[in-house]
Amino acid sequence: MKAWIILWAVALCVAQPTKQALAADGVGVRRIAAPSKERGADLDVTVWYPAQPGGEPVMLGGGMFFTGTSARRDAAIAPGKFPLVLLSHGAGLAGSAQALSWIAAPLAERGFVVAAPTHPGNSGANRSAAETMKLWLRPADISDSLDAVAREPFFKDHLNAGEIGVLGLSMGGNTALALAGARIDPKRLAAYCDTDRLNPSLCGWIRESGVDLHALDLRSAGRDGRDRRIRFAMAIDPAPVDVFDSESFSSVDIPVALLNLGPAANIPLTAQAAGIAKAIPVTTYETIADASHYSMFALCRPGAAESAEAQKVGDPICSDGGGRSRQAIHAELIERAATAFSRALRTGP
């Protein structure tokens, strides 16, 4: 089956050391549970943080195509207080919190606490087309994760009150926009797969799964998912951007940074953010022309492209823009994110 997940998913990591993977010596990692009334079960939340020496060296994630990122499990947290970045992943095979390790660990190394829930139904053995398309449930996952981190004894005295932002990649970008105040249009969501124009791979999988988006209970889809504790949002190749109520963007009242990967002609239709950037009151919009949507995956292992082709993944998961290496593109993405959140959140020296 085609890897529809590539359009909306973020990189899966495996335990293979690389320069990138070994760069997180000052990063601790811990998993916590976040109670969720919405989901009816606890959320699995991975938290990266600035760490003191110690802890158990671990490689986060697992899979056959991508390299992993190291951290130290349960290392003591570094002294001081830090801004909090909430992180939302994409959907599908690579849709898990630890798939974001390549960007989460470097942010923690730069002085942020970074918390990412695994959104239920988006990946793994419990992957579900119907659950994946319940986009309106994802913002509450982030808010519940914020609650859990803030009351966790290990972290609560190390968070700077009021210095909270959200970073979303791919479908996580849709989530970040919803947390900032954008609202889903239930009619647009229901009609999303009426044709294959917006996302043929995803919509093909939805049909193969026997899911009719018109038959979903969409009564809550248009609700306000805003979390007013969040002061800044950043979305990289947010998708789908075409299911929002276009009028809701004018009510977004925090700064938003939007970033697309690739030249305009190559940006997936459902992730093109230039239009919504004009509708959000305080926003920046930038592109990285020599990147691609696949640049949000971790570094590919040797032979991964050939392996993916042999397994009929259906998308060039190891292809970027044909210029710089993925490692160089990642370095730019990490630096852009760290700079944006530092400027938006940090109030002290």
Residue 10: pLDDT band (50, 70, 90) is: very low
Pairwise CA distance, residues 301 & 325, whole Å: 13
Q: What is the pLDDT of residue 271?
A: 96
Q: What is the pLDDT of residue 348?
A: 53
CA atoms within 13 A on the CB side of 67: 20
8 Å CB contact between 146 and 229: yes
**3-state SS class at 79:** coil
Pairwise CA distance, residues 189 & 6, whole Å: 20
Backbone angles phi, psi at 174, to 5 degrees: -60, -45
Pairwise CA distance, residues 238 & 95, whole Å: 14
| CA 26 to chain CA mean position, Å | 22
Our CA dihedral for 174, 175, 177, 181, rounded to 10 degrees, sits at: 130
Total domain count, the chain: 1
68-116: per-residue pLDDT in tens? 999 999 999 999 999 999 999 998 656 789 888 999 999 999 999 999 9
Q: What are the angstrom distances between the C-alpha of 317 and each of 6, 18, 66?
A: 7, 18, 10
312-333: per-residue pLDDT in tens? 877 888 999 888 999 999 999 9
8 Å CB contact between 222 and 184: yes
From 183, 159, 179, 184, select the one nearest 229 (Cα to Cα): 179
- The domain in which residue 119 lies consists of 5-345
Q: What are the angstrom distances between the C-alpha of 115 and each of 142, 166, 246, 279?
A: 9, 9, 29, 29
Pairwise CA distance, residues 109 & 253, whole Å: 29
- The residue-averaged pLDDT of 113-132 equals 90
Residue 199: pLDDT band (50, 70, 90) is: confident
Pairwise CA distance, residues 100 & 347, whole Å: 26
214-267: per-residue pLDDT in tens? 999 999 999 999 999 999 999 999 999 999 999 999 999 999 999 999 999 999
What is the torsional sign of CA 193, 194, 200, 206?
positive
Question: Looking only at Cα atoms, what is the longest distance across the chain?
Answer: 55
Q: What is the pLDDT of residue 167?
A: 99
Residues in Cβ contact with 210 at an 8 Å cutoff, skipping those fewer than 6 apart: none
- What ranges in 85-137 are assigned the alpha helix state H? 101-109, 129-132
8 Å CB contact between 66 and 41: no
* pLDDT over 90 (residue 349): no
Computed over every residue of the chain, the mean pLDDT equals: 90
Share of the chain above pLDDT 90, in %: 77
Q: CATH number of the domain that 69 lies in?
A: 3.40.50.1820
Residues in Cβ contact with 112 at an 8 Å cutoff, skipping those fewer than 6 apart: 50, 82, 83, 84, 85, 338, 341
Residue 308: pLDDT band (50, 70, 90) is: confident
Pairwise CA distance, residues 287 & 206, whole Å: 30
